[in-house]
Amino acid sequence: MEISKTEREKMTNGEPFLTNDPQLMEDKKNARILCSRFNNSPEDESMRSALLKELLGQCGEKIAVKPPFHCDYGYNIFVGDDFFMNFDCVFLDAAPIRIGAHCMIGPKTCIYAIGHPLEAELRREKIGIPKPVTIGDNVWIGGGVTILPGVTIGDNTVIAAASVVTKSFPDNVVIAGNPARIIKQIEG
């Protein structure tokens, strides 16, 4: 006898899921409460760090996130050591968003780990399609970048401001544009 999965289990396993599931809506509510507390907190790095450790799935050492920051769940975001994220970033974390060590993210950057079906009927049913986003070590993401579902960014890569990243890229490159493309190899 097959036991049916919860919508959260489907989401976590990368399967299509109902975005309006009551438990997932409660999870989103909790994440929004923590984000609000973080965004309205005083300039106290220890308090902000504690809130991030409560919100995120994993939080490395020596991290700095400038409010406001918004996410769907928080528990699907994993951040390495020595991480900096500037103002006004949005992470839609239905699938895991993994960010390596020594990364910097510019303001107004959006990372989306969820998509929706092309078929209107399925969209009306509130189906989400989770696809993880993975960002390697030593990555610098410029301001206003959008990273779409299912993308992997290699180590030491630089993403120019205002780029839209629609596919994966290797280590040691500079990418830019909409859609982003390799404009330079990084030597050394």
Q: How many residues can be counted in the chain?
A: 188
Residue 31: what are its φ and ψ, rounded to 5°? -65, -40
pLDDT band at 179 (very low <50, low <70, confident <90, very high): very high
Buried b (16+ CB within 10 A) or exposed e, 137-165: bbbbbbbbbbbbbbbebbbbbbbbebbeb
* pLDDT tens digits along 57-78: 999 999 999 999 999 999 999 9
What structural domains does the chain harbor?
A: 11-185 (2.160.10.10)
Q: Does an H or E element contain 30, and which?
A: helix 22-39
Predicted structure pTM score: 0.96
* pLDDT tens digits along 121-166: 999 999 999 999 999 999 999 999 999 999 999 999 999 999 999 9
**What DSSP string describes 64-105?**
EEPSPEEES-STTEEE-SSEEE-SSEEEE-SS-EEE-SS-EE
Catalytic residues: 116
Residue 93, both tokens: 């974390």
